[in-house]
Amino acid sequence: MTLRRLFEDAGIQAATLDGDADLTGITIDSRKAGPGRLFVCMPGGNNDSHAFIPDAVAKGASAVIAYGADGVQRAKDGGVAAALIEPRDFADSIWRLCDVFFGHPTRQMKVVGITGTNGKTTTAWLVRDMLRALGLRAGYLGTLGFHLPDEERELANTTPFTVDLYNLLAEARDRGVEALAIEVSSHALAQKRADGVEFNAAVFTNLTQDHLDFHGSMEEYARAKRRLFEEFPAQTQKGFTAAFNIDDETGALWNREHRASPSITFSSQSPSASLYGEALQVRVDGIRLRLRHQGEVREVEVPLGGDYNVENSLSASAALLALGYSLGQISEVLPQVRPVPGRFEAVRNQTGIGVLVDYAHTPDALEKLLDSVRDLKPSRVITVFGCGGDRDRTKRPLMARAASERSDLTVVTSDNPRTEDPQSILDEVETGIMPGRSSVKILDRREAVHHAVGQAQPGDVVVIAGKGHENYQIIGRTKYPMDDRELAREALALEARG
């Protein structure tokens, strides 16, 4: 396909279109440029991506899409074709170009999108596992990376930028993936990264405070997420079914107002929901769940612990109902799912001390996590957590309140401080500790984990929250190796030796 033909087929009118070129690929990374590649300069960010055009041209890029006249001139100076898309039209144009270039990659797959503040990762993971158990070559794309049936790799973002996302979607299709579960972040929805993806179903888990540093208000945060249900049904030729958690106030409201597509509801509180789930037993490593749908009732054993995994199990089951599977099929495959790395993940040991690592990094997620731990009736709960730097500062005291209200000892420590002063972050967090509650500030995360485990006695549970599956800590702009599970194992080994 040529550059000019690509714009024509996508229905995009470039502000400037200089020259033409045969295209074999698209990239936003100048290091991946080469003959036949279209290099896309992304507006925004910390750098002027036009500066990378000479590098892309030097590597053989055949054409450039720029968002300013300077970029077009740099491409012309390098002797390659160039198109100019005005910044106001950029996001909408790029997804349309990618969708056409890659041949509408999601049209040939079953695709489920999951959005919400909490539960996206677990829900998407469970959907993938359940579809695999039903015999499909199913994949996953989200916080834990890009998982094909025979390969796994890490990603920089929960939902990658448009060009990267479409490269992955095309790869999944070309490698025989029949179904894909995708976490769709609010950032991605606001920036139109996932537009053009033809979802068969979309699930809304819940809405609580997060990412206000990016969205500015809860109203804008909610508006971004709602796009998946209001605007995306018109972008698919396959039919679209929405699934709403009506235990969440926002989910119940959106369901009542939803007109864009067929919808179903799920709940653990309202028997009138399309899918109603009742937890008969909740353990640290499993849930006995009774499911009801259209008069049919099934009881299943789910190999996930904690109260909040009741909601995650219902979210994933609702996704399969939205895809057209029966409750009978769901009850057969839900028991076959696997625990999600870094989500209510137990660090097994012989000391009698329970240790759980979890990704909870919002006030609501931390509340749900600790409530689930409390329901297990431990002697004491000791919680280690921190808050990330360069992110929503308003949630820091709220996290501290959630932790201190539910913990016998709260250990406040560093998360990913990034470019902020770690001690200043801890000081802001500490303002939310409830008066009279036992707490300690320890800046070094390894030392904090060791302190928490050292304070624990048999029968206690130590909860290490915030990073979950992450095996690094970001200080400044550098990632340093660090894994909460390994830190816990180190501390437990010391305890075992006495």
For 311-365, the pLDDT digits (tens) are 999 999 999 999 999 999 999 999 999 989 998 998 989 999 999 999 999 998 8
- DSSP for 76-103? HHTT-EEEE--HHHHHHHHHHHHHHHTT
In this prediction, residue 218 carries a pLDDT of 85
DSSP 269: S
pLDDT above 70 for 224: yes
Return d(Cα 171, Cα 165) in angstroms, integer. 10
Mean of pLDDT values over 260-285? 95
Structural domains in the chain, CATH included, are 3-101 (3.40.1390.10), 105-336 (3.40.1190.10), 345-497 (3.90.190.20)
Bridge-based pairing state of the strands 37-40 and 25-27: parallel
Close Cβ partners of 3 (under 8 Å, ≥ 6 residues apart)? 17, 19, 20, 21, 23, 38, 62, 63, 81, 83
Closest CA to 92 of 240, 191, 227, 23: 191
What value does the mean pLDDT of the chain take? 95
State the amino acid at position 451 in one-letter form. H
Q: What is the pLDDT of residue 46?
A: 72
Pure H helices in 323-421: 327-333, 363-374, 395-406
pLDDT of residue 47: 78
User: Which strands sit side by side in the sheet containing 409-412, from one edge to the other?
Assistant: 345-346, 354-358, 461-465, 381-385, 409-412, 439-441
What is the separation of C-alpha 397 from the centre of its chain, rounded to a whole number of angstroms?
24
At 368-389, the pLDDT tens digits run 999 999 988 999 999 999 999 9
For range 153-160, the mean pLDDT: 90
Residue 44's pLDDT is what?
79
Residues composing the chain: 498
Q: Distance (Å, rounded) from C-alpha 294 to C-alpha 275?
A: 8
Instruction: Describe the strand order of the beta sheet including 138-142 as a list of residue ranges.
Output: 151-153, 145-148, 138-142, 179-183, 110-115, 201-204, 241-245, 263-267, 275-282, 287-293, 296-302
Query: What pLDDT does 36 receive?
Result: 97
Question: For 202-206, 273-277, 347-351, which range has the lowest pLDDT when averaged over its residues?
Answer: 347-351
- The answer, yes or no, to whether residue 396 has pLDDT greater than 90, is yes
Residue with the two structure tokens 């170009």: 97
Give the residue-averaged pLDDT of 273-295.
94
Given pLDDT bands bounded at 50, 70 and 90, which one contains residue 498?
low
Average pLDDT of span 80-107: 97
Average pLDDT over residues 399-409: 98
Q: Looking at the predicted structure, is the pLDDT value of residue 280 above 90?
A: yes
Mean pLDDT of 226-237: 96
**233-262 average pLDDT score:** 96
For range 397-413, the mean pLDDT: 98
Helices 308-322 and 120-133, packing angle to 10 deg? 50
Of the chain, the percentage scoring pLDDT greater than 90 comes to 89
SS3 155: coil
Average pLDDT of the segment spanning 292-309: 94
For the beta carbon of residue 465, count every other beta carbon within 10 angstroms: 24
Token pair, residue 178, equals 């029949």
Over range 79-96, report the average pLDDT.
Answer: 96
- Please give the pLDDT value at position 212: 66
Residue 56 has pLDDT above 80, yes or no: yes
In this prediction, residue 59 carries a pLDDT of 97
| In the predicted structure, residue 428 carries a pLDDT above the cut 90 | yes
pLDDT at 208: 86
State percent of the chain over pLDDT 70.
99
Residue with tokens 């997804």: 95
Return the minimum-mean-pLDDT range out of 375-379, 416-420, 432-436, 479-483. Answer: 375-379
Report whether 202 contacts 242 (CB < 8 A): yes
Q: Tokens representing 487?
A: 């830190």
Lowest average pLDDT, out of 186-190, 316-320, 404-408, goes to 186-190
> Residue range 161-176: average pLDDT?
97
User: How much is the average pLDDT of 110-134?
Assistant: 96
CA-CA-CA-CA dihedral for 196, 197, 200, 205, to nearest 10: -110
Comparing 408 with 376, the larger pLDDT belongs to: 408
Cβ atoms of 298 and 327 within 8 Å: the answer is yes
